[in-house]
A and B are shown apart, each in its own frame.
Chain A
Amino acid sequence: MHELAVTSNVLEIALRYAENAQRVRTVRLVIGQLSSMIDDSVQFYWDIIAQGTPAEGSTLVFTRIPAVLACQACGEQYPIASRYDLTCPACGGMRVHVIAGEEFYVESIEVEDATDDHSDSRVGEDSQRE
Protein backbone atom coordinates (compact mmCIF):
# COMPACT_ATOMS: atom_id res chain seq x y z
CA MET A 1 0.00 0.00 0.00
CA HIS A 2 1.68 3.22 -1.05
CA GLU A 3 -1.12 5.14 -2.68
CA LEU A 4 -1.08 7.83 0.01
CA ALA A 5 2.61 8.61 -0.55
CA VAL A 6 2.12 8.70 -4.31
CA THR A 7 -0.93 10.92 -3.94
CA SER A 8 0.97 13.35 -1.73
CA ASN A 9 3.69 13.63 -4.36
CA VAL A 10 1.10 14.33 -7.05
CA LEU A 11 -0.49 17.05 -4.90
CA GLU A 12 2.87 18.70 -4.24
CA ILE A 13 3.62 18.77 -7.98
CA ALA A 14 0.13 20.00 -8.96
CA LEU A 15 0.14 22.86 -6.42
CA ARG A 16 3.63 23.92 -7.46
CA TYR A 17 2.57 24.25 -11.11
CA ALA A 18 -0.77 25.82 -10.20
CA GLU A 19 1.10 28.79 -8.68
CA ASN A 20 -1.37 31.65 -8.43
CA ALA A 21 -4.33 29.89 -9.96
CA GLN A 22 -7.55 30.14 -8.02
CA ARG A 23 -8.45 26.48 -8.36
CA VAL A 24 -7.12 23.26 -9.82
CA ARG A 25 -9.92 21.44 -11.64
CA THR A 26 -8.19 18.46 -13.23
CA VAL A 27 -4.86 16.67 -12.81
CA ARG A 28 -3.85 14.35 -15.65
CA LEU A 29 -1.58 11.42 -14.83
CA VAL A 30 0.16 9.03 -17.21
CA ILE A 31 0.72 5.60 -15.67
CA GLY A 32 2.54 2.81 -17.49
CA GLN A 33 1.75 -0.84 -16.88
CA LEU A 34 5.28 -1.53 -15.63
CA SER A 35 5.39 1.41 -13.24
CA SER A 36 3.99 1.69 -9.74
CA MET A 37 0.65 0.08 -9.25
CA ILE A 38 -1.89 2.71 -8.48
CA ASP A 39 -5.56 2.36 -9.12
CA ASP A 40 -8.59 4.55 -9.04
CA SER A 41 -8.66 4.42 -5.23
CA VAL A 42 -6.07 7.20 -5.41
CA GLN A 43 -8.97 9.59 -6.05
CA PHE A 44 -10.24 8.69 -2.57
CA TYR A 45 -6.96 9.73 -0.93
CA TRP A 46 -6.81 12.75 -3.20
CA ASP A 47 -10.20 14.01 -2.04
CA ILE A 48 -8.97 13.91 1.55
CA ILE A 49 -5.47 15.36 1.22
CA ALA A 50 -6.50 18.07 -1.25
CA GLN A 51 -8.98 19.52 1.26
CA GLY A 52 -8.15 23.10 2.12
CA THR A 53 -5.83 23.49 -0.88
CA PRO A 54 -6.59 25.01 -4.30
CA ALA A 55 -6.91 21.43 -5.56
CA GLU A 56 -9.87 20.64 -3.32
CA GLY A 57 -12.65 19.01 -5.32
CA SER A 58 -10.49 18.43 -8.39
CA THR A 59 -10.50 15.27 -10.46
CA LEU A 60 -7.63 12.92 -11.26
CA VAL A 61 -7.67 11.64 -14.83
CA PHE A 62 -5.57 8.57 -15.61
CA THR A 63 -4.08 7.69 -18.97
CA ARG A 64 -2.91 4.10 -18.73
CA ILE A 65 -0.18 2.94 -21.10
CA PRO A 66 0.10 -0.81 -21.79
CA ALA A 67 3.60 -2.27 -21.85
CA VAL A 68 4.93 -2.79 -25.38
CA LEU A 69 8.10 -4.60 -26.40
CA ALA A 70 9.94 -4.03 -29.69
CA CYS A 71 12.10 -6.76 -31.20
CA GLN A 72 15.61 -5.53 -31.98
CA ALA A 73 15.96 -8.10 -34.77
CA CYS A 74 12.83 -7.54 -36.86
CA GLY A 75 11.19 -4.47 -35.35
CA GLU A 76 7.96 -6.26 -34.42
CA GLN A 77 6.10 -4.48 -31.61
CA TYR A 78 3.95 -6.52 -29.24
CA PRO A 79 2.25 -6.24 -25.84
CA ILE A 80 3.53 -8.24 -22.86
CA ALA A 81 0.17 -8.43 -21.12
CA SER A 82 -0.69 -11.94 -19.94
CA ARG A 83 1.96 -13.68 -22.01
CA TYR A 84 4.22 -16.35 -20.63
CA ASP A 85 6.41 -16.03 -23.70
CA LEU A 86 8.20 -12.72 -24.03
CA THR A 87 10.09 -13.67 -27.20
CA CYS A 88 9.17 -11.91 -30.42
CA PRO A 89 5.99 -13.51 -31.84
CA ALA A 90 7.17 -12.73 -35.41
CA CYS A 91 10.75 -14.05 -35.44
CA GLY A 92 11.35 -15.60 -31.99
CA GLY A 93 13.98 -12.94 -31.21
CA MET A 94 15.05 -12.51 -27.59
CA ARG A 95 16.65 -9.08 -27.74
CA VAL A 96 13.92 -6.57 -27.09
CA HIS A 97 13.41 -3.00 -25.99
CA VAL A 98 10.61 -1.86 -23.71
CA ILE A 99 9.15 1.02 -25.71
CA ALA A 100 6.11 1.76 -23.56
CA GLY A 101 4.79 0.97 -20.11
CA GLU A 102 7.32 2.62 -17.80
CA GLU A 103 5.62 6.04 -17.69
CA PHE A 104 4.76 7.52 -14.29
CA TYR A 105 4.30 11.25 -14.41
CA VAL A 106 1.96 14.20 -14.08
CA GLU A 107 1.15 15.24 -17.62
CA SER A 108 -0.77 18.47 -17.09
CA ILE A 109 -3.15 20.30 -14.83
CA GLU A 110 -6.21 22.32 -15.69
CA VAL A 111 -6.63 25.43 -13.55
CA GLU A 112 -9.10 28.23 -13.20
CA ASP A 113 -7.39 31.55 -13.54
CA ALA A 114 -7.10 33.76 -10.51
CA THR A 115 -9.10 36.54 -12.13
CA ASP A 116 -12.22 34.40 -12.49
CA ASP A 117 -13.66 35.30 -9.13
CA HIS A 118 -13.05 39.02 -9.42
CA SER A 119 -16.55 40.21 -10.21
CA ASP A 120 -15.39 43.70 -11.12
CA SER A 121 -13.21 42.42 -13.96
CA ARG A 122 -16.13 40.40 -15.27
CA VAL A 123 -18.33 43.46 -15.23
CA GLY A 124 -15.63 45.23 -17.17
CA GLU A 125 -15.65 42.52 -19.84
CA ASP A 126 -19.41 42.58 -20.05
CA SER A 127 -19.56 46.31 -20.47
CA GLN A 128 -16.99 46.11 -23.23
CA ARG A 129 -19.16 43.61 -25.07
CA GLU A 130 -22.13 45.88 -24.76
Chain B
Amino acid sequence: MAEGVAIFAEWAEEGLHPVSLELLSEARLLADELEDKVQAYFLAPPDKETQAEILIRHGADEVFYVFHQCFEDFLDDVASHILAKMIRENSPEILLFPATARGQALAPRVAGYLRLGLTAHCIAFEIRKEDRTLVQIRPSFGENVMARIISLTKPQMATVRPGVFSKAKEDPTRTGRIKKIPLSDEEVKSALHIFKKHPRKAPKVDLAQARVVIAGGRGMGTKEFFAKLYELAELLEGAVGATRPVCHLGWISEEHMIGVSGHTISPKLYLGFGISGAIHHLVGIRNPGLIVAVNKDPEAPLMKKADVAVVGDVREILPLLIRRLKELKGESHEA
Protein backbone atom coordinates (compact mmCIF):
# COMPACT_ATOMS: atom_id res chain seq x y z
CA MET B 1 0.00 0.00 0.00
CA ALA B 2 1.17 3.46 -0.80
CA GLU B 3 2.25 5.38 2.26
CA GLY B 4 4.03 8.61 3.02
CA VAL B 5 4.60 12.03 1.57
CA ALA B 6 8.12 12.01 0.20
CA ILE B 7 10.53 14.66 -0.96
CA PHE B 8 13.82 14.56 -2.78
CA ALA B 9 16.18 16.35 -0.41
CA GLU B 10 18.88 18.18 -2.31
CA TRP B 11 22.13 19.14 -0.69
CA ALA B 12 24.62 21.79 -1.69
CA GLU B 13 28.24 22.43 -0.75
CA GLU B 14 27.19 24.71 2.11
CA GLY B 15 24.65 22.28 3.55
CA LEU B 16 21.12 21.37 2.68
CA HIS B 17 19.72 23.24 -0.28
CA PRO B 18 17.15 25.73 1.13
CA VAL B 19 14.50 24.35 -1.21
CA SER B 20 14.69 21.03 0.66
CA LEU B 21 13.36 22.76 3.76
CA GLU B 22 10.67 24.49 1.71
CA LEU B 23 9.48 21.16 0.33
CA LEU B 24 9.59 19.68 3.83
CA SER B 25 7.24 22.31 5.23
CA GLU B 26 4.69 21.63 2.51
CA ALA B 27 5.14 17.84 2.78
CA ARG B 28 4.50 18.12 6.52
CA LEU B 29 1.21 19.96 5.95
CA LEU B 30 0.09 17.41 3.36
CA ALA B 31 1.11 14.48 5.55
CA ASP B 32 -0.68 15.89 8.57
CA GLU B 33 -3.83 16.22 6.53
CA LEU B 34 -3.48 12.62 5.37
CA GLU B 35 -2.39 11.47 8.84
CA ASP B 36 0.66 10.08 7.22
CA LYS B 37 4.42 10.38 7.58
CA VAL B 38 7.00 12.48 5.79
CA GLN B 39 9.89 10.79 4.07
CA ALA B 40 13.00 12.34 2.60
CA TYR B 41 15.20 10.71 0.00
CA PHE B 42 18.67 12.00 0.55
CA LEU B 43 21.45 10.94 -1.82
CA ALA B 44 24.77 12.29 -0.58
CA PRO B 45 28.39 11.50 0.19
CA PRO B 46 29.15 9.50 3.36
CA ASP B 47 29.91 12.52 5.56
CA LYS B 48 26.51 14.17 5.39
CA GLU B 49 24.68 12.49 8.23
CA THR B 50 24.28 15.76 10.13
CA GLN B 51 22.31 17.04 7.17
CA ALA B 52 20.02 14.03 7.40
CA GLU B 53 19.44 15.00 11.04
CA ILE B 54 18.54 18.52 9.98
CA LEU B 55 15.85 17.03 7.76
CA ILE B 56 14.34 15.26 10.77
CA ARG B 57 14.35 18.44 12.85
CA HIS B 58 12.52 20.21 10.03
CA GLY B 59 9.66 17.78 9.75
CA ALA B 60 10.81 14.48 8.23
CA ASP B 61 9.84 11.27 10.01
CA GLU B 62 12.05 9.05 7.93
CA VAL B 63 15.17 9.87 6.00
CA PHE B 64 16.49 7.41 3.47
CA TYR B 65 20.11 8.45 3.49
CA VAL B 66 21.64 6.72 0.50
CA PHE B 67 25.32 7.36 0.55
CA HIS B 68 28.32 6.88 -1.67
CA GLN B 69 31.35 8.97 -2.53
CA CYS B 70 30.09 9.29 -6.11
CA PHE B 71 27.40 11.71 -4.94
CA GLU B 72 30.07 14.37 -4.63
CA ASP B 73 29.09 14.68 -8.28
CA PHE B 74 25.67 14.72 -9.75
CA LEU B 75 25.31 11.67 -11.97
CA ASP B 76 21.84 11.79 -13.47
CA ASP B 77 21.71 8.17 -14.50
CA VAL B 78 22.89 6.72 -11.18
CA ALA B 79 20.79 9.01 -9.01
CA SER B 80 17.59 8.47 -10.96
CA HIS B 81 18.08 4.73 -11.10
CA ILE B 82 18.58 4.44 -7.37
CA LEU B 83 15.72 6.77 -6.58
CA ALA B 84 13.42 4.80 -8.84
CA LYS B 85 14.41 1.59 -7.08
CA MET B 86 13.89 3.05 -3.60
CA ILE B 87 10.57 4.55 -4.55
CA ARG B 88 9.39 1.29 -6.01
CA GLU B 89 10.28 -0.44 -2.74
CA ASN B 90 8.73 2.15 -0.45
CA SER B 91 5.85 3.30 -2.66
CA PRO B 92 5.09 6.72 -1.18
CA GLU B 93 1.74 8.28 -2.03
CA ILE B 94 3.16 11.65 -2.95
CA LEU B 95 6.62 12.60 -4.21
CA LEU B 96 7.84 16.17 -4.51
CA PHE B 97 10.97 17.33 -6.31
CA PRO B 98 12.54 20.76 -6.32
CA ALA B 99 12.60 22.37 -9.75
CA THR B 100 16.31 23.03 -9.43
CA ALA B 101 18.81 21.96 -12.08
CA ARG B 102 19.18 18.59 -10.35
CA GLY B 103 15.50 18.21 -9.64
CA GLN B 104 14.57 18.97 -13.23
CA ALA B 105 17.11 16.44 -14.46
CA LEU B 106 15.98 13.74 -12.04
CA ALA B 107 12.22 13.98 -11.64
CA PRO B 108 11.35 13.22 -15.27
CA ARG B 109 13.81 10.33 -15.33
CA VAL B 110 12.20 8.84 -12.24
CA ALA B 111 8.74 9.42 -13.71
CA GLY B 112 9.88 7.76 -16.93
CA TYR B 113 11.32 4.71 -15.19
CA LEU B 114 8.24 4.22 -13.03
CA ARG B 115 5.71 5.28 -15.72
CA LEU B 116 4.28 8.00 -13.52
CA GLY B 117 2.49 11.24 -14.18
CA LEU B 118 4.52 14.33 -13.32
CA THR B 119 3.30 17.90 -12.98
CA ALA B 120 5.89 20.62 -13.43
CA HIS B 121 6.21 23.81 -11.42
CA CYS B 122 3.25 23.57 -9.07
CA ILE B 123 2.48 26.60 -6.98
CA ALA B 124 0.05 25.07 -4.48
CA PHE B 125 -1.42 21.74 -3.44
CA GLU B 126 -4.69 20.59 -1.96
CA ILE B 127 -5.65 17.20 -0.60
CA ARG B 128 -8.89 15.64 -1.78
CA LYS B 129 -9.53 13.65 1.36
CA GLU B 130 -12.09 11.12 0.17
CA ASP B 131 -9.61 9.38 -2.13
CA ARG B 132 -6.33 10.79 -0.78
CA THR B 133 -5.69 12.56 -4.05
CA LEU B 134 -3.11 15.30 -4.38
CA VAL B 135 -4.61 18.18 -6.31
CA GLN B 136 -1.76 19.99 -8.01
CA ILE B 137 -2.26 23.64 -8.86
CA ARG B 138 -0.32 25.50 -11.52
CA PRO B 139 -1.05 28.00 -14.26
CA SER B 140 -2.73 26.32 -17.20
CA PHE B 141 -0.66 25.80 -20.34
CA GLY B 142 -2.87 27.53 -22.80
CA GLU B 143 -5.18 29.87 -20.99
CA ASN B 144 -4.72 32.68 -18.57
CA VAL B 145 -6.17 30.62 -15.74
CA MET B 146 -5.05 28.27 -13.00
CA ALA B 147 -5.48 24.55 -13.49
CA ARG B 148 -6.12 21.83 -10.94
CA ILE B 149 -4.31 18.71 -12.07
CA ILE B 150 -4.35 15.21 -10.68
CA SER B 151 -2.26 12.19 -11.39
CA LEU B 152 -3.79 8.75 -11.78
CA THR B 153 -0.56 7.00 -10.85
CA LYS B 154 1.15 6.72 -7.48
CA PRO B 155 3.29 8.23 -6.14
CA GLN B 156 1.68 11.43 -7.35
CA MET B 157 4.67 13.41 -8.54
CA ALA B 158 5.22 17.13 -8.87
CA THR B 159 8.04 19.64 -9.03
CA VAL B 160 8.09 22.95 -7.17
CA ARG B 161 10.34 25.93 -7.79
CA PRO B 162 12.52 27.37 -5.06
CA GLY B 163 10.80 30.17 -3.16
CA VAL B 164 7.25 28.93 -3.62
CA PHE B 165 6.83 27.59 -0.08
CA SER B 166 8.33 29.03 3.06
CA LYS B 167 10.98 27.06 4.90
CA ALA B 168 10.03 24.63 7.63
CA LYS B 169 10.85 25.81 11.15
CA GLU B 170 13.41 23.87 13.10
CA ASP B 171 12.20 21.85 16.05
CA PRO B 172 15.23 20.52 17.97
CA THR B 173 13.07 18.06 19.88
CA ARG B 174 11.74 16.28 16.82
CA THR B 175 12.81 12.70 16.37
CA GLY B 176 12.74 10.40 13.42
CA ARG B 177 14.49 7.53 11.78
CA ILE B 178 17.51 7.80 9.55
CA LYS B 179 17.85 4.73 7.40
CA LYS B 180 21.40 4.54 6.15
CA ILE B 181 21.78 2.78 2.84
CA PRO B 182 25.31 2.25 1.59
CA LEU B 183 25.78 1.67 -2.12
CA SER B 184 28.24 -0.69 -3.71
CA ASP B 185 30.58 0.49 -6.44
CA GLU B 186 28.68 -1.74 -8.82
CA GLU B 187 25.45 0.17 -8.22
CA VAL B 188 26.97 3.53 -9.05
CA LYS B 189 28.40 2.79 -12.50
CA SER B 190 27.66 5.76 -14.70
CA ALA B 191 27.90 6.62 -18.36
CA LEU B 192 28.82 10.11 -17.21
CA HIS B 193 32.12 11.28 -15.84
CA ILE B 194 32.40 14.81 -14.50
CA PHE B 195 35.96 15.98 -14.90
CA LYS B 196 35.81 19.70 -14.30
CA LYS B 197 33.57 22.13 -12.45
CA HIS B 198 33.45 25.84 -13.04
CA PRO B 199 31.60 27.56 -10.23
CA ARG B 200 29.91 30.75 -11.31
CA LYS B 201 32.15 33.75 -10.76
CA ALA B 202 29.66 36.56 -10.66
CA PRO B 203 26.86 35.86 -8.22
CA LYS B 204 23.67 34.79 -9.92
CA VAL B 205 20.92 37.36 -10.14
CA ASP B 206 19.39 37.06 -6.74
CA LEU B 207 15.81 37.94 -7.47
CA ALA B 208 14.52 35.48 -4.91
CA GLN B 209 16.18 37.38 -2.06
CA ALA B 210 15.69 40.91 -3.40
CA ARG B 211 13.88 43.36 -1.13
CA VAL B 212 12.85 45.52 -4.06
CA VAL B 213 12.07 44.20 -7.52
CA ILE B 214 11.63 46.44 -10.52
CA ALA B 215 10.01 44.45 -13.30
CA GLY B 216 9.34 45.40 -16.88
CA GLY B 217 7.12 43.94 -19.58
CA ARG B 218 6.44 44.34 -23.25
CA GLY B 219 4.81 47.69 -22.56
CA MET B 220 8.32 49.13 -22.11
CA GLY B 221 8.39 49.21 -25.89
CA THR B 222 12.10 48.93 -26.66
CA LYS B 223 15.26 47.42 -25.24
CA GLU B 224 16.68 50.92 -24.81
CA PHE B 225 13.77 52.13 -22.76
CA PHE B 226 13.70 48.88 -20.80
CA ALA B 227 17.27 49.66 -19.73
CA LYS B 228 15.95 52.67 -17.83
CA LEU B 229 14.69 50.20 -15.24
CA TYR B 230 18.30 49.64 -14.13
CA GLU B 231 18.50 53.29 -13.19
CA LEU B 232 15.43 52.97 -11.03
CA ALA B 233 16.73 49.72 -9.57
CA GLU B 234 19.92 51.44 -8.56
CA LEU B 235 18.05 54.26 -6.87
CA LEU B 236 15.86 51.83 -4.95
CA GLU B 237 18.61 49.27 -4.42
CA GLY B 238 16.51 46.66 -6.16
CA ALA B 239 16.90 43.89 -8.71
CA VAL B 240 15.48 44.01 -12.23
CA GLY B 241 12.99 41.35 -13.28
CA ALA B 242 11.08 40.75 -16.48
CA THR B 243 8.24 38.92 -18.15
CA ARG B 244 8.84 36.03 -20.48
CA PRO B 245 8.21 37.86 -23.78
CA VAL B 246 10.74 40.49 -22.81
CA CYS B 247 13.35 37.81 -22.16
CA HIS B 248 12.54 36.17 -25.46
CA LEU B 249 12.84 39.52 -27.22
CA GLY B 250 16.37 39.68 -25.87
CA TRP B 251 15.86 42.86 -23.83
CA ILE B 252 17.28 41.01 -20.82
CA SER B 253 18.54 37.50 -20.11
CA GLU B 254 16.22 34.69 -19.05
CA GLU B 255 17.83 34.66 -15.62
CA HIS B 256 15.65 37.67 -14.85
CA MET B 257 12.34 36.03 -15.69
CA ILE B 258 9.67 36.09 -13.01
CA GLY B 259 6.87 33.57 -13.06
CA VAL B 260 6.08 29.93 -13.47
CA SER B 261 8.99 29.53 -15.88
CA GLY B 262 11.31 31.77 -13.92
CA HIS B 263 11.92 33.02 -10.41
CA THR B 264 9.57 33.17 -7.49
CA ILE B 265 10.09 36.39 -5.57
CA SER B 266 8.90 37.74 -2.21
CA PRO B 267 9.96 41.39 -2.19
CA LYS B 268 8.85 44.18 0.15
CA LEU B 269 8.21 46.27 -2.94
CA TYR B 270 7.38 45.15 -6.47
CA LEU B 271 7.11 47.76 -9.18
CA GLY B 272 5.79 46.48 -12.51
CA PHE B 273 6.04 48.63 -15.62
CA GLY B 274 4.13 47.79 -18.79
CA ILE B 275 3.21 44.32 -17.57
CA SER B 276 -0.25 42.92 -18.24
CA GLY B 277 -0.07 40.45 -15.38
CA ALA B 278 -0.71 37.07 -16.94
CA ILE B 279 -1.15 34.32 -14.39
CA HIS B 280 2.12 32.79 -15.56
CA HIS B 281 3.84 35.93 -14.33
CA LEU B 282 1.75 36.62 -11.23
CA VAL B 283 2.36 33.23 -9.64
CA GLY B 284 6.01 34.21 -9.38
CA ILE B 285 5.16 37.01 -6.96
CA ARG B 286 4.69 35.41 -3.52
CA ASN B 287 3.96 37.25 -0.30
CA PRO B 288 4.86 40.65 -1.64
CA GLY B 289 4.76 43.70 0.56
CA LEU B 290 3.53 46.40 -1.76
CA ILE B 291 2.70 45.87 -5.42
CA VAL B 292 2.77 48.90 -7.66
CA ALA B 293 1.73 48.60 -11.30
CA VAL B 294 2.15 51.17 -14.00
CA ASN B 295 0.03 50.51 -17.07
CA LYS B 296 -2.01 52.57 -19.45
CA ASP B 297 -4.73 49.95 -19.33
CA PRO B 298 -6.51 50.08 -15.94
CA GLU B 299 -8.17 46.74 -16.72
CA ALA B 300 -4.88 44.81 -16.98
CA PRO B 301 -4.85 41.95 -14.43
CA LEU B 302 -1.72 43.27 -12.71
CA MET B 303 -3.53 46.58 -12.17
CA LYS B 304 -6.31 44.61 -10.47
CA LYS B 305 -3.89 42.74 -8.26
CA ALA B 306 -1.78 45.81 -7.41
CA ASP B 307 -2.04 47.74 -4.17
CA VAL B 308 -1.20 50.88 -6.07
CA ALA B 309 -2.36 51.01 -9.67
CA VAL B 310 -0.83 53.87 -11.60
CA VAL B 311 -2.77 54.54 -14.78
CA GLY B 312 -0.42 56.08 -17.28
CA ASP B 313 2.22 55.75 -19.93
CA VAL B 314 5.47 54.24 -18.70
CA ARG B 315 7.35 56.57 -21.03
CA GLU B 316 6.04 59.49 -18.99
CA ILE B 317 5.86 57.98 -15.51
CA LEU B 318 9.21 56.20 -15.34
CA PRO B 319 11.49 59.14 -16.27
CA LEU B 320 9.57 61.40 -13.89
CA LEU B 321 9.83 58.89 -11.08
CA ILE B 322 13.56 58.51 -11.63
CA ARG B 323 13.99 62.30 -11.63
CA ARG B 324 11.95 62.73 -8.47
CA LEU B 325 13.87 60.02 -6.62
CA LYS B 326 17.18 61.54 -7.70
CA GLU B 327 16.04 64.89 -6.37
CA LEU B 328 15.10 63.28 -3.08
CA LYS B 329 18.49 61.58 -2.85
CA GLY B 330 20.17 64.91 -3.51
CA GLU B 331 18.10 66.55 -0.77
CA SER B 332 18.95 63.93 1.78
CA HIS B 333 22.63 64.23 0.87
CA GLU B 334 22.49 67.94 1.48
CA ALA B 335 20.67 67.48 4.75
Partners in one complex: no
Which A residues form the contact surface with B (CB < 8 A)?
A: none
